[in-house]
Structure 1
């Protein structure tokens, strides 16, 4: 079916039912078999934690069972989210939280302990960190793929408002909260910068997926939202680096070393590394006599680049995801071998590795332990209102003032309010750095889930079509040539296609 064909055969829903039922049955059977095996393994276990070398096969068995459960539950939750009209990543995030202390650890603590014993957690965390690094590499690549043709006052105003208005409101909210919600680092300046950064994030991959499903990628609102999200997220990552650097405290040379090292990494990636990749791609793509084994070389090189950049930035004091993000931004676009390798890695990381990151996130976040007292409800409600109003009204009013229609301006703000997985990555970094405590961490998780889940329903209320559930990703949307109009919006090249269910 072509991208311009909006009609579907009348029996398409009937044909999809066996696929949905098969996915559900596969997940249920996998989980049932895994739980039976866990029961058997638990009966034979001595309960002494990590065992001696003679018991390693049991640890391997538990790891393999955990992999089956995590992937099966994540796939089922993603499918249910699609059927509910939500991005699949929403279901996978909820699945990761449900497998943690929020749900499984509360209703069946013994089963949770057997499913994720201490000896298995480092293995799962390794998969999670690799998935996170490759995901951030893909985000950097997608943001770098945005190409502009023309400029306009509307573009400048909306892009600035998408970042600056929520950031300013977040800093005011941080000052109002005072020192009661500071993290273990105890730095109020870092807390202020971080909260402003957290409220200004837009999940670029989730936004691109929603636009594709609603067939809005080529619209004026879609192109403008992609541009604003790309520029805003780049600025937000810079602010996040500043917030983490502030935790080093005054009078230390570490922030200076980090800044100089970060600049050196950027220059290294943008010039010699990028040129070396292009020369290698010309050799791989040129001629027909390349050895068969060279087909795997671009993929291996990409993995080395992403992981190597993440390791380097970790050494100089920046978070590893920033290095992976910079590597993706510097990754050259165009050579067929490099593009194919990036697509393969995106499919692998999104389909197989990110569910383990959601699991790790769920294990560290006990939303059930969040105290629902008056103070928590007041702080959570206030931050939710600030997050939504500033993201929707700030860019929306700027678009309206520059001549955009009321419905389109409001739709633009709603699109930019989707935070998704990118926000979860930022929150995890803030908790790890000690900038925020677990209360603020849990509150911001709830805000992230609510703002992302409300995006599609609000767009439907504004008259946009509901995305139809499908067994695969929507067809790629190709940009059409259009004449420049008043308050021209730069044409944005859609980001590389994302595997179904993993924006």
Structure 2
């Protein structure tokens, strides 16, 4: 009898990864409240060890063997590095600088208030065992969970605003400015949380070497034709990710830094949009599945869901409170603060990447990771149904004013 090879099992896993979420999304017509990327995340959780793996252990042990999971993790890591690189490239801080007072106040409050709310929730979680990782310090756990509640998923935000047809409108561009500044702060706080005093020499050395390499890299890229820039960009990504991981930060921090120093106008915008779309289509589902395989329910399913709800309330309430406060200071029109706040509370991809890093470094436990993942899914699913009627009301107000 033919023995099933690792490659054959891997291909079975890949068929499941692409088939199941697509069928749920298409047959269930979930686009209004759950875009395909959200369905892929949910499917990853369902296929993981805590749900279907627990109900059908034979299926799980057959499909997700050690070698197969190792391959999936490698593909998922490269996919998300590409995605973070693109996010770094697309950051446009010039517009934020041109509107620095408004952008600074809004981005600061939109990040700071939910961070405080999330940190308070994390302090409550510390009173119970099973939430903090084995290598984490209490301050790292509190700041990490707090920042997870404050994160805005810039790539998903762009997709949702495209769907709402406001991305190129003035309010859409304002929201992008706020989210871009928050994106910078998120990675800065992550670098602080991951600071390893035992490897501080390596980390300082990496940053110094990175600064020198940036000057040389930018000169090289300007001298190259565009067709060569794509290849050099990928080499640059791998080198920066390796250096960051070797220094004790994380390869995702390196991927983001690699993208930030790349100018978007070095590439055709249509080609960059297609690259982002193809990474989402072809590779990111593998990351979502490998993320779902990391979920655990050791402290109890009800307890994990309760923690996710607490974190969701802290995240949404904190984001709305911060943005409403900014709106009062800056005297926005009625309805704008609520619309902007709900869009900025979108989580999904970036928060999942952030939580994966905290789990990799054992700052949070698998139970906390699962709660954060559930929070991110619920946050993103709330966005379109809540924002759509608010956007209609805001349009009506604008027409009546004009």
Q: TM-score, normalised by structure 1?
A: 0.71
Deviation at 1:376, TM superposition (A): 5.4
**Does the C-alpha gap of structure 1 residues 328 and 100 become closer, same or farther in structure 2, counting only changes over 3 Å?**
same
Contact 2:32 2:384 in 1 (8 A): no
**Does the C-alpha gap of structure 1 residues 464 and 210 become closer, same or farther in structure 2, counting only changes over 3 Å?**
farther
Deviation at 1:421, TM superposition (A): 0.8
**SS in structure 2 at match of 1:334:** helix
Cα deviation, 1:3-37, whole Å, max 9, x if unaligned, reads xxxxxxxxxxxxxxxxxxxxxxxxxxxxxxxxxxx
Within 5 Å, which residues of 2 pair with 1:83-102? 83-102=31-50
**SS in structure 1 at match of 2:132:** coil
**SS in structure 2 at match of 1:119:** helix
Stretch of structure 1 that moved more, 429-438 or 111-120: 111-120
**Does the C-alpha gap of structure 1 residues 150 and 188 become closer, same or farther in structure 2, counting only changes over 3 Å?**
same
Instruction: Choose the corresponding residue for 1:264, options 202, 206, 209.
Output: 209
Deviation at 1:196, TM superposition (A): 1.9
**Does the C-alpha gap of structure 1 residues 61 and 382 become closer, same or farther in structure 2, counting only changes over 3 Å?**
closer
Instruction: State whether structure 2 residue 146 is matched by structure 1 residue 196.
Output: yes
Contact 2:164 2:388 in 1 (8 A): no
Contact 2:147 2:186 in 1 (8 A): yes
**SS in structure 1 at match of 2:265:** coil
Instruction: Choose the corresponding residue for 1:307, options 231, 238, 243.
Output: 238
Tell me, in whole angstroms, the C-alpha distance in 1 between the residues paired with 2:9 and 2:326: 54
Instruction: Choose the corresponding residue for 1:70, options 17, 20, 35.
Output: 17
Contact 1:157 1:399 in 2 (8 A): no
**SS in structure 1 at match of 2:335:** helix
Instruction: State whether structure 2 residue 171 is matched by structure 1 residue 221.
Output: yes
Tell me, in whole angstroms, the C-alpha distance in 2 between the residues paired with 1:390 and 1:371: 27
Quote the residue 1:474 is aligned against. none
Instruction: State whether structure 2 residue 127 is matched by structure 1 residue 154.
Output: no
**Does the C-alpha gap of structure 1 residues 73 and 164 become closer, same or farther in structure 2, counting only changes over 3 Å?**
same
Q: Which of 1 and 2 has greater Rg? A: 1
Quote the residue 2:219 is aligned against. 275
Contact 1:90 1:420 in 2 (8 A): yes
Q: Which runs of 5+ in 2 are unaligned?
A: 394-402
Tell me, in whole angstroms, the C-alpha distance in 2 between the residues paired with 1:451 and 1:83: 15
Deviation at 1:449, TM superposition (A): 1.0
Contact 1:87 1:206 in 2 (8 A): no
Quote the residue 1:321 is aligned against. 252
Tell me, in whole angstroms, the C-alpha distance in 2 between the residues paired with 1:258 and 1:406: 47
**SS in structure 2 at match of 1:457:** helix
Quote the residue 2:300 is aligned against. 371
Instruction: Choose the corresponding residue for 1:415, options 334, 340, 343.
Output: 343
Tell me, in whole angstroms, the C-alpha distance in 2 between the residues paired with 1:154 and 1:452: 25
Contact 2:13 2:64 in 1 (8 A): yes
Contact 1:85 1:456 in 2 (8 A): yes
Tell me, in whole angstroms, the C-alpha distance in 2 between the residues paired with 1:235 and 1:259: 19
Deviation at 1:257, TM superposition (A): 3.0
**SS in structure 2 at match of 1:229:** helix
Cα deviation, 1:439-470, whole Å, max 9, x if unaligned, reads 222211111111111011111232449xxxxx
Deviation at 1:350, TM superposition (A): 1.6
Tell me, in whole angstroms, the C-alpha distance in 2 between the residues paired with 1:171 and 1:199: 8
Deviation at 1:370, TM superposition (A): 5.2
**Does the C-alpha gap of structure 1 residues 397 and 262 become closer, same or farther in structure 2, counting only changes over 3 Å?**
same
Quote the residue 1:255 is aligned against. 200
Contact 1:191 1:436 in 2 (8 A): yes
Deviation at 1:78, TM superposition (A): 4.7
Instruction: Choose the corresponding residue for 1:446, options 370, 374, 399.
Output: 374
RMSD over equivalenced CA pairs, Å: 2.5
Give the aligned length: 390
**Does the C-alpha gap of structure 1 residues 322 and 152 become closer, same or farther in structure 2, counting only changes over 3 Å?**
closer
